[in-house]
A and B are shown apart, each in its own frame.
Chain A
Amino acid sequence: MKAPVIDAVIHAPGRLQICAILADVDQAEFATVRDAIAVSDSVMSKHVKQLEDAGYLAISKAARGGRQRTWLKLTADGRRAFKAYVAELTRLAGIV
């Protein structure tokens, strides 16, 4: 039987939720994702930083409606990693 290969960067609940949201869209606003996963700004920022450091997430800022908005998107590496992560989870869930 193949040994489990779980991506530790993605596997924390907060980060996997962020990846799950971003996987279905081109970009999502920081505040929208934060509200969807119900965490504080600081916790969200930590998760975003870890994903960004791993090269899985890219950040852009845009001024809209007179205020600065932060947009998040999965990089190509991030999409590949998340797809592989979900495939591994599905395989493991099938075994258990």
Chain B
Amino acid sequence: MNDQPTPAEALDLIRKSRNAVRAAVSDGKAALRYALIYSAIVGVMVGGQVLDLPFNVVCSAGGVLGLALLAKTWSDRTGIWISGVSPRRARWVAIGLGAVLLVLMLVGVQFGRQQQIWAGIPLGLAAFAIAMAGSWLWIKVFLAETREP
């Protein structure tokens, strides 16, 4: 190809280049592993909110640290950094997921105040399931959004 591609050639090049990012994001086993670890951490963060101080704070802070390490490990491996809020439509999936998980954490705090520690397990499991579904949805939306130039 010469230095002045036609519009059709340029659009084709853009499509091919975007596939490199799409392949990294949708890499089957790696994407599943990422979603499982992410969801497990989120589950602990949410479920841990029913515990007394300082254990609820340890769950939150440890969770944030775990999520940061997870993102850094993925970024080091792929050479790509995606915050989750970059592409326009996928951003709303990430924000929506964060909002739902935040509500679950607040519900957990409320159960904790009432000493209903048992609620931590169903809340944690619900957070895990929601995070798995959210991760899957985010990938689908990201791939759809980056399909065409």
A residues near B (Cβ < 8 Å) are: 11-13, 16-18, 20-21, 23-29, 31-33, 36-37, 64-65, 71, 86, 89-90, 92-93, 96
Contacts and interface: CB of A to CB of B under 8 A. Distances in A.
B13 A17 contact: yes
Contacts of B13: 13, 16-17, 20
B17 A37 contact: yes
A93 B18 contact: no
A65 B130 CA distance: 33
A31 B82 CA distance: 17
B5 interface: yes
Interface residues of B, number: 28
Interface of B: 1, 3-8, 10-11, 13-14, 16-18, 20-22, 76, 78-83, 86-87, 146, 149
A25 B149 contact: no
Contact of A24 (B1, B8, B16, B86): B86
A23 B1 CA distance: 22
